[in-house]
Chain A
Amino acid sequence: MVSLYAEKLLNIIANDSLEDRLVCMFKKYGVSGYTILTARGEGSSGHFSDMSGFDANILVKVVLPESRVQVILESIERKIKKGHHLTVYLSNVEVITPEKFEKTLS
């Protein structure tokens, strides 16, 4: 049977203008990688991204060890306090290759 290892999955929904800032933050606080998808929807900030390229949202997914979660969440909280509209949620996931998530991006 294949062994499973616990990791955290961080999901962030943000405006695409924030993409560079988020990537910069990931590199600063050490993540092994990230995936960005174009997203659309409607929510508390009252507007939805229109997919015309003028106001698009992104969904960012990062798998990381629990030990690295806090420092990233603190950085995200600072962004939210500045007024950025970010939707953030964390979940428990299981992976089969934990070593993949130990290395950090340079």
Chain B
Amino acid sequence: MYRYDEIDQAVVDQRVAEFRDQTRRFLAGELSEDEFRPLRLRNGLYIQRHAPMLRIAIPYGLLNTKQVRKLAFIARTYDRSFGHFTTRQNLQLNWPELKNVPDILEHLASVEMHAIQTSGNCVRNVTADHMAGVAPDELDDPRPYCEILRQWSTLNPEFTYLPRKFKIAVTGSPEDRAASEVHDIGLHMQRDANGGIGFTVYVGGGLGRTPIIGQMLREFLPLKDLLSYLEATLRVYNRYGRRDNIHKARIKILVKSLGIEEFRKQVDAEWQASQDFATHLDMAEVERVRAFFQPPPYEKLEDYDVAADRELEFQTWYRYNTRKHKVPGYRAVFVSLKKHGTVPGDMTSDQMDAVADLADRVSFGMVRATHNQNLLLADVKQSQLYDTWVELKRLGLAMANIGTLTDMIACPGLDFCSLANAGTLNVADQIQKQFDDLDYLYDLGDIEIKMSGCMNACGHHHVGHIGILGVDKHGEEWYQITLGGSVNGFTALGDVIGPSVRQTDVASTIQRIVDLYRQKREDGERFIETYRRIGLKPFKEHVYATSAAA
């Protein structure tokens, strides 16, 4: 993984010192709340319902075990001994005290981590495919380019006060596992005829109140132009993005109002006109960063049938919670943070420490955070899978539900977030209880449920096969359900099925939806495929007919 040199370390150290001083001034009354807000946000600190919330960046999802243990320590020392992994490869602490935040940031800096620009109207944590470097279908590892973008965007003087937040995701595989088309900028790695690396650039995707799928801005952007072209794009946005209405300030609204052709014309003109002062990405720097992402020292092994002669429970876990690795003899292993009865994405300090120990034993001391709110041990020898499973099971992290209906994504919702209209955690619990029969779950197969407690869409509900959105209806928590959203491989926004339902009816409504799927599915058809074939109408009729009859 990337290791800080004296430049990187100095940047985070300087930043901690700056924020320590700003926090002191705020607590001393020298900075007003309005003045302190943009400063604390750019250091990951929100003021939430109960306490501040601190969002820590996990750039492109990658952690070494020293960092995992530090996160466990921070959660134990300054919070309630747990953290919440988010859909954008961040870790959120829900209960830190403001006065302790500078110390927390100093602890992070001591292990080459930070919370810089994890909120606020600036370029956020750059995310990547969690299978980067081990996916069999990958063109090239996207993480060196994410790291370059992380550095370029960190405290970038021109682009730290943008009209609104700005999210970038990079994928190195044809199958987009980074949700890049719902990012402000999505970069899909490509190779030109000579094998040279470049990117197809998508712009203006995003969820929130106005969900939009990104449009292609440039078919092939050569690597050497990566920074200069993004500078031109951000400059056009910084100048012309709306600042009068927070709900219309994302780049997607600018792209939509200009049209992609006109937006592209403006970016190209800006890019041409800034060639002699744009930031240049030289290939020596690319090679320096790429050198940090060399494959670990894999042994020369053969694939074999690990599950043969093992108990059914292990076979099931193997099938659902491990993935093919590009190196024979290895598998990528999900650490499920979706145990029934727990909050999706939550992990205790003790679990973090234990997973760090496990990763040291079986996965080269590395752990990854995924955008589905699980962790991944990317490089586990097949011969160590059984022991890995035994340990994960002991830790309550072996729920064999990856990719199934209960591997759902949920934001923290009304229980923690001051923006939310409705709870998500109790609904998640309700769904987990409704679908606690694993054989039934497996029969349903691959179904993604994504849930947000408000239209800010932190739970990405628009792109869930089944999306659940919490809404406030005369002071009561109601839920609007969408069907047919998708983000992996093919990006689509879900369709609203009909009037919203009461909190107590969410799980039974989902039951009706999957009942119809089981009636209508054809051989081997996944839920999303059935939906695409038969459309919204039969689902709508079934849900509301049964509902009326009930």
Q: Do A and B come from one complex?
A: no
What residues of chain A have their CB less than 8 Å away from a CB belonging to chain B?
Answer: none
What residues of chain B have their CB less than 8 Å away from a CB belonging to chain A?
Answer: none
